[in-house]
Structure 1
Amino acid sequence: MKKITIFLMLFVFATTFSQEKLDEVKIDIKQKGIKKSLTKTANTSVVTSKELLKAACCNLAESFETNPSIDVNFSDALTGTKQIKMLGLTSPYLMITEENIPSVRGASQAYGLSFTPGTWVESIQITKGAGSVVNGYESISGQINTELIKPLNDIPFFFNAYGSTDSRYEVNTHFNKKLSDKLATSLYIHGNTRVAKNDMNDDEFLDNPLGKQINLVNRWQYANAETGWVSFVNYKFMKDEKQSGTVDFNPDVDKLTTNHWGSEINTERFDLSTKIGYIFKDMPYQSIGFQNAFSSHNQQSYFGLNQYDIKQQSYYSNLIFNSIINNTMHKFATGLNFTYDKYSEFVNLSDVSRIDNSVGAFFEYTFDNNNKFSYVLGGRFDYHNRLGAFFTPRLHVRYNPWEKSVLRFSAGRGKRAANIYAENQQLFASSRLFSILDTDGKIYGLDPEIAWNYGVSFTQNFILFGKSADMTLDFYRTDFQNQVIVDVMQSSQQVLFYNLRGNSYANSLQIDFNYEIIKHFNLRTAYKYYDISTDYLSGSFQRPLQAKHRFFSNLEYETHISNEGQQWRFDATFNWLGKQQLPTTSSNPVGDVFPEFSPSFSTLNLQITVQQSKNFEMYFGGENIGNYRQTNAILGKNNPFGMYFDTSVVYAPIFGQMFYAGLRFKIK
């Protein structure tokens, strides 16, 4: 009864603000959830809206649970935040964009993926290796681009409600209005909350944070095929509040005291973005586009006695011109972009604020004979007030050696400024002392990170026992010329930041096998091997909290859709993670010492979706069905203000089993 009451309250709250509807997803039984092309030059897979319905992907960070290319892990034992990795490298080495405009970067690096609800997403493009120079120079291990539902393709109304046994409740309402056949607007309203205190492992700390979020988006789209003009305008506002710590913590009286250990992370964010483009009527292969985006991200937070406040105000613009050379086999894109970031950042009242800006020019040439061979060769020159002047080359090559196969190669360089505090906020929830050993650089005294990424991929589609199958083998290597080392291997009571003083590399090998066992019953499997090594002051170690071996498997089955739209869908996802290198805890007292490596473990997620009509469906599921939980997730928990307290060493789930249910309703 309590859950039903909360659902109704959230529904009234959401509809008061006239939330916009989500584009309905028509489930076509022939459509694949993850699409891989044999003709695209880059190694890109597309996660469709169908795939996003296979799990309770309440936000973008949770949308990759059924995707073998992305690893999903918890970042700490307090905030419940999920961190993604690609090619064994964490999200700061990915370029994460929303409709090709940089989105999760800088101050939003730790929690930004949780600020995009899954119901807003139309598709996700995942590119392995260095991305296109059109989108910038920061991409090292890959790019994730999210496409939101387009107002001109949207349906009038969508409603989604969700509740789980970890006391998380969520509603999404989407409204769409087509003002004409060329102009449409959508309004999306998202609200979520966690209202109960959960301590399943009896360590006196919350397993998941209390919190609430309100997230609003208004999108406008104009498209005129007769004149060639297209445009988008997006307004966003988001407010997110999280509270974690001990069960008895009360922020009204215990904030920044030693009464009870607690933490609050309060974030407000505003975004305004515009895109305008023109396709030349007499030359449909020629177009010009102009992207602009302004964002203000303000986070006020504390972790026990550690205070961390950061406000980032950013402006981004990108002017792109596309055309051909002689014929459509020879295409090019060229343009200019500008980025401005103002950081007001305070670490325990110490002011580390700065202003970054850069201007760059790019040119990308594409040869594609629409047959067996294509390549994309690009380069850009940028000047950054802290990184200096530099050149970024990128190359992607595709070759189809025989029928239903593709061989790809890519190589590229990436460069970025590491935001060491924003990207490592989980370490504030510990008693570790922060020390920066280098002082000559221009970013917190450190030098920029520079890396080369190389990769090769081969895909073969074939028929096995009369059913379709495909196999992909890819290998990527990232070599760092310089890297900002986050050293938790030197001491249990310190975290050291310094420039790379030796070698650092990441090798990633992945083997995928997908097979249609019987009609409508599909198997997706993947094995991943990571060889990631970094030279620290105390020696060479594997990357902490990164499993060397991982196995993934997903089974999906769906019944035939009746004339009334009735259908059942079943999904099961299995993950096995091998042992992981753990940060050193050797100087801690007995009872607060981890072994050198974590044990291996596995998790199983299940979901059943009952589509009762073309407009209504319900879903039920569970995560971590086997109830595997990390023991002793919080070190020094008996004395959280002592020198051995640490919540950042998390290699497995904390909460244990979690079950959920939800419904989706749409008006077409």
Structure 2
Amino acid sequence: MVKILFFAYTILYFGMLNAQNSEISGTISSNGVPEAYVNIYLKGTQIGTASDENGKYSLKNVPSGKYTLIASNIGFQKFYQILTITEGQDKIIDINLKPSIESLDEMVVTGTLKPVSRLESPVPVEVYKPTFFKKNPTASIFEALQNVNGVRPQINCNVCNTGDIHINGLEGPYTLVLIDGMPIVSGLGTVYGLSGIPNSLIEQIEVVKGPASTLYGSEAVGGLINIITKNNLTAPKFFADSFVTDWGEFNLDVGTKFNVGKKANVLLGANYFKYDNPIDNNGDNFTDLTLQDRISVFQKWNFTRKNSRIFSLAGRFFYEDRWGGEMQWTPEFRGGDEVYGESIYTRRWEVLGKYELPIEEQMMLSFSYNDHKQNSVYGDVPYLADQRIGFTQLTWYKTIGKHSLLVGSALRYNYYDDSTPATFSTEGNEPDEVLIPSLFIQDEVAFNKKHSLLLGGRYDYDSRHGNIFTPRAAYRFKFTDNDIIRLNAGTGFRVVNLFTEDHAALTGSRDVIIAEELKPERSFNVNLNYLKKIYGDNGTFVGLDASLFYTNFQNVIIPDYDTNPNQIIYDNLNGTSISKGISANVDVAFYNGLKLMIGGTIQDVSNTEDGVKERQILTESYSANWSVSYDIRTWDLTIDYTGNLYGPMRLPTLGDNDPRSDFSPAWSIQNIQLSYDGIENLEFYGGVKNLLDWTPNRGNPFIIARANDPFDKEVTFDANGNAVATPNNPNALTFDPSYVYGPNQGIRSFFGVRYTLN
């Protein structure tokens, strides 16, 4: 009898319990098409499921209360809806998902100078969104690019920490950096153009690997990076992002948007970075990290015009005070020979705009101008520089049948003056000033949905080097919607502009020798790219992007560190320089919130002269990048593990007696981050950078040669100017901070907060 009563009570209890709970059901679709395997759950609970092959879902046994319903799937924006469940009340909620701008179908403009779906572009373009860089937050885009496969920020000076961007092993002068498609970051300002841009203002970063001189002219030889800022209409109303590290670094991004009258809206942002805590963990009496005080203000105006024609105007002001050197250095020692320091004051401003002509034909006028002034000292050697770049371009787009035409004309003005031999002649100081007019044409033929062919050519006239012609061709074969092959071939050129900031950083320790009148560099490139997408039945997504690349350079200008350890000799290579290799990215996203991204590059960059082949200095033979992210949805927590690995590089030592290794070891920087977004509009994040506490002094007796005598006061030289061995200098070394291939900053923790008001 007791068992019968207990059984009846149990049935009654669970019947009453089920009667109190409710069911939420419905159909998930996108543009009327059912979406299978979409994850749907109630935030903060264990209640969740996935839609079936017909897009239908059902959440059962939902207690009464207030919930946030969330639906998410690869390639779509997250769906949120707040709802209240009362006792015994079922709800039917149909969900329409919107495509995400972060899917593989995003729009790109860099490859062909016009907006096109990434899948339809005949030129392979890699796209990186802000969420990619948030996995390892940094104070500048320069640092953030360390997580991009085949792209490496190279620090060129141990003391001042300036550097450039290498793409597929090619040095910084071969990389062109654009902001909103305008080539305002080049030469002297390369590293500064990538510092101080508020990360929160960036819509996406597009990377093209290989020559792009046909569309962008000189300097786009190895590749280009296009930083695209947010559209005023889609940017948040207000945002703030700030983080600190236990080294004492502080970074702040703030921004807002507002309307001015009825026909103008403004996007305003600012970045401030400060680090003023000298640290010397490697014990050489030099700062491991350059001290910096930097501010950048960015403003972008969009104007409303008839027929939705474009008119935008943007400007940026940048100022930085940075120094590195001996720990006891203070500003009163600037420029003297008592205490060594490298002090750099930089002031830079930029303006750029786009104006669509008010005519029936689709014509766009683009323009930019920047002024970069620098006041630097490297010990007791001054480096004063002034660079101005003006650029204007008129493009005409026209579709005729299967042909998509682009015709354009550009005019570039370069002015450069400094206190080095670069602008010195027998008649005295002679600034480098040149006006380069250009014409270019491009025709993309869409034979059908599977086949398209792009042909293009560019003509430039440089008064120093005469006529320069750069053709290119690109073929795209889309044999299924998820399989695309692209074959690109083209030429590139780079006019002579030796002295960027990284070269100037060495003038305090080595003499600069220009061997002869330098000729413009030329290159030929072939790139084969394969893009594959796989959608699993359980909601898993896999993306593969792989490329074979080959570049052959003629007249390449290579700094020679080896012939004379006290000199850097610049000369055109009497031979060939070849960069070749394979690169691949794999992205995997699982329905349970786990995401993986793995990239790798194997490359051979070498120079052959007089039959002798030599590996290019400061170039890794292989590299890898990865990120692993996992969303713990019930806790509103995301875990990100990121890292990179670089193979050995040949390093600039000071001759056979230098005890430092001629090659770097394989090295890796790894990071971990936790972020929490359970509070509306707020996100908290923190973690540890450089988990392995790796620094380049491992395995070396020292990094900076003769750090104890930075002015070479105790070095004895022979009649030819070469250092000789003495009891206090047994290896015949001179002061040299150029032996650098990675950051000196070891393990450190960070914590930050983001606030976004949409």
Q: Which moved more, 1:378-387 or 1:534-543?
A: 534-543
Which of 361, 364, 377 is matched with 2:439 structurally? 361
How far the C-alpha of 1:202 sits from its partner, in A, is: 1.4
Which of 234, 258, 263 is matched with 2:314 structurally? 234
Change in CA separation of 1:80 and 1:607 when aligned onto 2, cut-off 3 Å: farther
Q: Secondary structure at the match of 2:607?
A: strand
The 1-side partners of 2:345 and 2:182 are apart by 25
The 1-side partners of 2:156 and 2:77 are apart by 34
How far the C-alpha of 1:629 sits from its partner, in A, is: 1.1
Which of 588, 597, 622 is matched with 1:524 structurally? 597
1:640 and 2:710 aligned: yes
Letter in 2 for 1:552: N
Q: Which moved more, 1:198-207 or 1:607-616?
A: 607-616
Deviations 1:461-509 (A, max 9, x none): 2356953223232111111111111111323222110011112111121
The 1-side partners of 2:564 and 2:247 are apart by 35
Deviations 1:245-295 (A, max 9, x none): 11011221x2222211111111101112221114766xxxx5111011121
> Which residue pairs with 1:470 in the alignment?
543
> Which residue pairs with 2:354 in the alignment?
275
> Which residue pairs with 2:667 in the alignment?
601
1:620 and 2:686 aligned: yes
Which of 171, 178, 201 is matched with 1:97 structurally? 178
Deviations 1:591-648 (A, max 9, x none): x422222211222111221113341111112221100111122111121112611111
TM-score under structure 1 normalisation? Answer: 0.88
Q: In the comparison of the two structures, how many residue pairs are matched?
A: 622
1:386 and 2:464 aligned: yes
Q: Is the 8 A contact 1:56 1:62 kept in 2?
A: no
Which of 371, 375, 379 is matched with 2:453 structurally? 375
> Which residue pairs with 2:651 in the alignment?
582
Change in CA separation of 1:556 and 1:293 when aligned onto 2, cut-off 3 Å: same
Q: Secondary structure at the match of 2:195?
A: helix
Letter in 1 for 2:469: F
Q: Secondary structure at the match of 2:307?
A: coil
Change in CA separation of 1:653 and 1:227 when aligned onto 2, cut-off 3 Å: closer
Which of 128, 139, 143 is matched with 2:209 structurally? 128
The 2-side partners of 1:192 and 1:544 are apart by 32
1:651 and 2:741 aligned: yes
Deviations 1:92-114 (A, max 9, x none): 21221111110221221343322
The structure number with the bigger radius of gyration is 2
Letter in 1 for 2:439: A
1:265 and 2:311 aligned: no
> Which residue pairs with 1:208 in the alignment?
289
The 1-side partners of 2:430 and 2:673 are apart by 46
Q: Which moved more, 1:352-361 or 1:511-520?
A: 511-520
The 1-side partners of 2:266 and 2:471 are apart by 39
Q: Is the 8 A contact 1:345 1:352 kept in 2?
A: no
The 1-side partners of 2:671 and 2:445 are apart by 43
How far the C-alpha of 1:27 sits from its partner, in A, is: 7.3
The 1-side partners of 2:77 and 2:153 are apart by 26
> Identity of counterpart residues, as a percentage?
23
> Which residue pairs with 2:395 in the alignment?
320
What root-mean-square deviation, in Å, do the aligned CA atoms of Structure 1 and Structure 2 show?
A: 2.4
Q: Secondary structure at the match of 2:737?
A: coil
Which of 610, 622, 630 is matched with 2:676 structurally? 610
Q: Is the 8 A contact 1:92 1:423 kept in 2?
A: no
Change in CA separation of 1:104 and 1:537 when aligned onto 2, cut-off 3 Å: farther
1:151 and 2:232 aligned: yes
> Which residue pairs with 2:582 in the alignment?
509
Q: Secondary structure at the match of 2:375?
A: strand
Deviations 1:273-330 (A, max 9, x none): 221114766xxxx5111011121110111111222111012211001111112x2x31
Structure 2, unpaired ranges of 5+: 1-75, 80-98, 106-117, 713-732
Q: Which moved more, 1:460-469 or 1:264-273?
A: 460-469
Change in CA separation of 1:219 and 1:91 when aligned onto 2, cut-off 3 Å: same
Q: Secondary structure at the match of 2:475?
A: strand
Change in CA separation of 1:334 and 1:94 when aligned onto 2, cut-off 3 Å: same
Q: Which moved more, 1:241-250 or 1:33-42?
A: 33-42
Which of 135, 148, 152 is matched with 1:54 structurally? 135
Q: Secondary structure at the match of 2:467?
A: strand
Change in CA separation of 1:173 and 1:513 when aligned onto 2, cut-off 3 Å: closer
Change in CA separation of 1:127 and 1:309 when aligned onto 2, cut-off 3 Å: same
Q: Is the 8 A contact 2:200 2:239 kept in 1?
A: no
> Which residue pairs with 1:304 in the alignment?
379
Change in CA separation of 1:336 and 1:459 when aligned onto 2, cut-off 3 Å: same
The 2-side partners of 1:376 and 1:204 are apart by 56
Which of 407, 413, 416 is matched with 2:485 structurally? 407
How far the C-alpha of 1:31 sits from its partner, in A, is: 5.0
Q: Secondary structure at the match of 2:350?
A: strand
TM-score under structure 2 normalisation? Answer: 0.78
How far the C-alpha of 1:203 sits from its partner, in A, is: 1.0
Letter in 2 for 1:247: M
How far the C-alpha of 1:538 sits from its partner, in A, is: 11
> Which residue pairs with 1:255 in the alignment?
334
Letter in 2 for 1:235: G
The 2-side partners of 1:296 and 1:135 are apart by 20
Which of 180, 184, 188 is matched with 2:265 structurally? 184
Q: Is the 8 A contact 1:33 1:51 kept in 2?
A: no
Which of 554, 565, 568 is matched with 2:637 structurally? 568
How far the C-alpha of 1:229 sits from its partner, in A, is: 2.3
The 1-side partners of 2:663 and 2:315 are apart by 46
Letter in 2 for 1:452: F
The 1-side partners of 2:225 and 2:385 are apart by 25
> Which residue pairs with 1:291 in the alignment?
366
The 1-side partners of 2:488 and 2:213 are apart by 11
Which of 522, 535, 540 is matched with 2:608 structurally? 535
The 2-side partners of 1:352 and 1:54 are apart by 47
Letter in 1 for 2:520: P
Change in CA separation of 1:558 and 1:469 when aligned onto 2, cut-off 3 Å: same
> Which residue pairs with 1:8 in the alignment?
none
The 1-side partners of 2:185 and 2:380 are apart by 27
Q: Which moved more, 1:52-61 or 1:427-436?
A: 427-436
The 2-side partners of 1:392 and 1:84 are apart by 23
Q: Is the 8 A contact 1:492 1:587 kept in 2?
A: no
The 2-side partners of 1:78 and 1:144 are apart by 26
> Which residue pairs with 1:114 in the alignment?
195
Deviations 1:414-454 (A, max 9, x none): 1112321215336526522211111xx3xxxx111111111
Q: Is the 8 A contact 1:277 1:290 kept in 2?
A: yes
The 1-side partners of 2:632 and 2:263 are apart by 37
